[in-house]
Amino acid sequence: MPDRPLPPHPVADGRVLDANIHLLDRAVLDRDGVPVLAVDDVEIDWPDDGGPVLLTSLVLGSGLTSRFFGAHQPRHTRLTVDWREVVDVGSAVQLGADRDDLDATWHERWLRDRVVGRIPGGRHDPR
Amino acid sequence: MNKVFGVALGVLTAIGGFVDIGDLVTNAVVGSRFGMSLAWVVVVGVAGICVFASMSGRVTALSGRATFEIIRERLGPRAALANLVGSFAMTFLTLTAEIGGVALALQLLCGVDPRLLVVPVGLALWVVVWRVRFTVMENAAGLLGLLLVVFLVALVVLAPDWSELGRQAVSGVPSTESPVTYCYYAVALFGAAMTPYEVFFFSSGAVEERWTRRDLGLSRLNVLIGFPLGGLLSLGIAGCAAAVLLPAGVGVASLSQVVLPVATALGVVGLVVVSLGVLAATTGAALETALSCGYALAQYTGRPWGKLVAPIRAPHFHVTVAGVVLVAALLLLTGIDPIMVTEFSVVFSAVALPLTYLPILVVANDPEYVGDRTNGPVLNAVALAYLVVILVAAVAAIPLLVLTRMGA
């Protein structure tokens, strides 16, 4: 993170969100309201030319260790969801996408297809 | 009619969740050594679990969010991780004790070596989690767990000297025991009454049963009938031990001594009924603790969880639950004594209490979660007083465990 101070808060129409309070550690739901993962971290684009600071994506399911220990995780190893996918921020962050289309849930698909789905009854809907 | 049925079933849910192997053993041990002189701790503990379970029920019904999601949002990822590690370990230890309890109850019923039963019991628990619908599971365990009312029947049949039991209840430390041991068992009883998994399970179960604002009354009724009834059963267990085991100088070292007073009072029929009751209560608690491990981990990471969806829709959750059941069964195969694991787990759960109950209190005052139904000043004052008691118990638990060499 650059050492220069944060730019002043832009006075703009719309809702002001505090990344710490409204985004970090919140649950993320997909378009059907199914939980995806929690927001482990956020990616912020911080242009050197002094242009506007932009929140570009949410880090899901992979950013906790670097947040705890301060390491800089290489970008390509982070599992992210683009901010454009976010349709609403309430007591949870709502996405417009289907959770199965997201890169961030790949291990879950692996566990589902290779382990849980192969055990008899794994596909049985209890309702 | 449906509504009455719903309330009845919900009440059973809470009873099934309260009296587990920890309560059975701790209350019997205490009754056989201290008579009714620690009965006040059960009353304090039941009131405490009512205060916090009703808050978490309200938060869940209004926001649809279960306890552990809230713990992470409010305490941040580090403190929540500390809490997760602590409560996961305690819940796992309790699960181990409950599976051992199921095996011991089966031994009472059919005489088979409990170690042979551990693996089949674990497998059966997994099948229930994998396949059986949530409400069916809860109501079967709760309904059969009601058989434990036989402890109260036995106490009446035994016709103890009620004035003597009453005198014990207000007499403080008995002359035969040291004050430090007394405090140790006070903390153990308090921990057994307020185990954190009860709140995880209660709030997650509320999500599984799709509670909404309309179910606020149901939530309150669950708490106010279920937990006090569980407390009454606990007192019945302690009373039976105080009436039969204390005068005979018998110490409680196994489950057969816990149920001995019932057999004395009601004979073979009583023994069968109480064994079935213990079987149901420990099975219910084993399921609740196994699910609670899955709930806590999934809610911390934000993954899908629960039995409302097919296992393939919540794969991490099901792998976690199956994993903890497997490891607990393997641990019991090494021959460790489930009764000892039980005593450890109730004392250690006292340590994990503050980190669980503080965030619930904070969120129950946050309009973002509960709208206009925030805590009133009286409830907040009571809850804060409880947090002080919980903190004292948590700090004292480990030193007391060491000082008394586990209450020896």
Report ipTM for this prediction.
0.88
pTM metric for this prediction: 0.91
In a domain, residue A5? The reply is no
- Where does residue A62 rank: exposed (0-12), middle (13-18), buried (19+ CB within 10 A)? middle
CATH architecture of residue range(s) B2-403: Up-down Bundle (1.20)
In a domain, residue A90? The reply is yes
- What number of other Cβ atoms are within 10 A of residue A9's Cβ? 7
Say whether A34 and B313 touch across the interface (CB within 8 A): yes
Instruction: Spell out the domain ranges in chain B.
Output: 2-403
Asked if residues B170 and B39 have their Cβ atoms less than 8 Å apart, the reply is no
**Using one digit for the tens of pLDDT, what is the confidence trace for B20-39?**
888 899 999 999 999 999 99
Among A91, A117, A124, select the one facing B63 at the smallest CB separation.
A91
* Residues counted in chain A: 127
Say yes or no: A112 contacts chain B, CB-CB below 8 A: yes
In a domain, residue A75? The reply is yes
**What is the pairing mode between strands A86-89 and A93-95?**
antiparallel
* Residues counted in chain B: 408
Q: From the candidates A18, A21, A23, A25, which should be mutated to test the interface with B, based on the most B CB atoms within 10 A? A: A25
DSSP state of A35: E
In a domain, residue A13? The reply is no
Q: Which residues contact A2 (CB under 8 A, 6 or more apart)?
A: A46
Dihedral over alpha carbons B122, B124, B126, B129 (to 10 degrees) = -140
Query: Where residue A34 sits, what CATH number does that domain have?
Result: 2.30.30.240
Distance CA B350, CA B195 (A): 7
In a domain, residue A123? The reply is no
Residues in chain A closer than 8 A to B76 (CB atoms): 25
Distance CA B110, CA B279 (A): 12
Question: How does residue B154 score in pLDDT terms, banded at 50, 70 and 90?
Answer: very high
Say whether B315 and A108 touch across the interface (CB within 8 A): yes
Answer yes or no: is pLDDT of B192 > 90: no
In a domain, residue A69? The reply is yes
Say whether B302 and A37 touch across the interface (CB within 8 A): yes
Asked if residues B80 and B300 have their Cβ atoms less than 8 Å apart, the reply is yes
Residues in chain A closer than 8 A to B132 (CB atoms): 126
Using DSSP's 3-state secondary structure scheme, residue A60 falls into: strand
Parent domain of A46: 19-118
Question: How does residue B148 score in pLDDT terms, banded at 50, 70 and 90?
Answer: very high
Question: In which residue are the tokens 């069964």 written?
Answer: B329
Answer yes or no: is pLDDT of A1 > 60: no
Q: Span A12-41, mean pLDDT?
A: 87
In a domain, residue A34? The reply is yes
For residue A127, what pLDDT is reported? 66
For residue B151, what pLDDT is reported? 95
Give DSSP secondary structure letters for B377-402.
HHHHHHHHHHHHHHHHHHHHHHHHHH
More confident residue, B346 or B299: B299
**Using one digit for the tens of pLDDT, what is the confidence trace for B204-216?**
888 888 888 888 8
Distance CA B60, CA B216 (A): 9
**Beta strand residue intervals within B122-187, DSSP E:** none
For residue A57, what pLDDT is reported? 92
Distance CA B42, CA B188 (A): 10
Domain count of chain A?
1
Say whether A108 and B303 touch across the interface (CB within 8 A): yes
Answer yes or no: is pLDDT of B97 > 70: yes
In a domain, residue A12? The reply is no
Phi-psi region at B172: left, alpha or beta (left = phi > 0; alpha = psi -120 to 50): left
Label residues B361-398 b or e (16+ Cβ within 10 Å = b).
bebbebeebbeeeebeeebeeebeebbeebeebbebbe
Q: Which residues contact A67 (CB under 8 A, 6 or more apart)?
A: A40, A41, B77
For residue B327, what pLDDT is reported? 97
Q: Which residues contact B28 (CB under 8 A, 6 or more apart)?
A: B237, B238, B240, B241, B245, B252, B257, B258
> Which of these ranges, B66-80, B156-170, B227-241, B386-400, has the smallest mean pLDDT?
B66-80
